Amino acid sequence: MLHQLSQRAKLLEQLNHTLQQALPAPFAAHCRLANIDNATLIIHTDNASYASLIRFQAPVLCKTLSTKLAMTVDKIEVKVRPHYSPLQNTILNTISLPKSAATSLQQVAQTIDNDSLKTALEKLLKRAS
């Protein structure tokens, strides 16, 4: 059962990636594939205006996705989920770093001549705080 669930999650993530590529760029950040049921894609969006625009483009999207997914997509169902948070916001913005490692990185950042590497190390140290 757990294996099937894991496989289903992987499939949905792959299909979501394909959907993101097929959508116009401004839409992609506001939409996510929630499920696929038979030949119907269920898409969640964070805004009613994007839902309307996707519904308007549904016939073209169905055709495009049918070719890209190698499966028939007859219908797109769009649901508004206002509290949807895009994938890029789900990544934690803090890291766990042992104190000794943080001290070592700080010493390296203070002595390094490469400005871009120094800046990157300082950003890393701020995220670890």
Predicted pLDDT of residue 90:
46
In the block, tokens 């789900």 appear at 90
As a whole-number percent, the residues of the chain with pLDDT over 70 amount to 89
In the block, tokens 């070592």 appear at 104
- Tell me whether strands 40-45 and 75-80 are parallel, antiparallel or unpaired: parallel
The pLDDT tens digits for 64-106 are 888 887 788 899 999 998 865 555 544 455 677 788 888 888 8
Question: What's the CA gap between 113 and 116, in Å, rounded?
Answer: 9
In order of their start, the domains of the chain are 2-84 (3.30.300.180), 99-128 (no CATH)
CB-hemisphere CA count at 13 Å for 42? 9
pLDDT band per the 50, 70, 90 thresholds, residue 55: very high
